Amino acid sequence: MLKKLHLSSWVTYSFIIAAALVWFIPLFWMVYTAFRPSKLALSQQFSFEFTLQNFVTVWQGAPFAIYYLNTLLIVVGVLVVQMVTGTMAAYAFAKVNFLGRSLLFTLFLIQIMVPNDVLIFPNYMTLKEMSLLDTKLGIMIPFFATSFGIFLLRQHFKTIPNELEEAAKVEGYSKWSIIWRIYFPLSKSAYLSFGLVSVSYHWNNFLWPLIVTNSVENRPLTVGLAIFAQAAETGAQWAEVSAATLIVAAPLLIGFFVFQRQFIQSFMQSGIK
């Protein structure tokens, strides 16, 4: 029995290591190429000749500072609004009894199964009628409400005892105060989990911003990177393209490696496996 268990664990760990290597090899190649001189970018011979000139060339060759600012505004703006709308909706579905609550919550869950790409055309036409094309607000509006966030927070709010809310009402707390002074502090793990998902998705979101934006002033990093890579392909500037890709991906990579333990714990505590 112990031998079988040991063999099973060995096979499992071997598979995990193999999968990690498959994920890590492209990342390693990107980082390695980003610091290589352009003339050695595609060379098969390993060398310790590295340079930062690729990053200087990329930063000066495209308005990545503007792309960064646009992306931060979009990501933070969407996250803040989602936190507010998701918290209020989750509280209503978890703690407020009203007619049709289960049916309405089921409709919210159905939205999780609908890909965002399916809604691109109606969302585009709606923004066109509102004169919000090629604006940061136009990129953010379709994501101000999130069915996944509502579901995640609702499940966590249901674990909080009703006695805490009743005691708060005795103390004279309003509904708004109860939400932000009791439910919000006690659900930090759920908010961290959702924040990770939201920031990662909107930092990497490409198709919707590509369709909506036309100007440099409103393009996020993903669209700016695609335009830069397309312009650089004719000269086979793989070192510069890799450097630009690393510039875009670095914040998420650093955030993951720094807060890896907190991220995993928050997902486990929130019931996401």
Domains and CATH numbers, the chain: 63-269 (1.10.3720.10)
Residue-level pLDDT at 114:
80
C-alpha distances (whole Å) from 81 to each of 62, 101, 142, 146 are 30, 23, 11, 10
From CA 35, how far away is CA 28, in angstroms rounded?
11
Copy the structure tokens of residue 135.
Answer: 């604006």
CA 233 to chain centre: 28
Residue-level pLDDT at 203:
94
Given the structure tokens 């009791």, which residue do they identify?
A: 182
Q: Decide if 33 contacts 238 (C-beta within 8 A).
A: yes
Residue-level pLDDT at 263:
65
Residues in Cβ contact with 162 at an 8 Å cutoff, skipping those fewer than 6 apart: 95
Give mean pLDDT in consecutive 10-residue pieces for the chain, a chain of 273 residues.
Answer: 59 82 86 84 73 88 92 96 93 88 86 83 92 93 90 89 88 87 87 87 93 92 88 66 90 80 61 48
From CA 90, how far away is CA 25, in angstroms rounded?
41
Residue-level pLDDT at 6:
64
Q: How many other CB atoms sit within 10 Å of the CB of residue 216?
A: 14
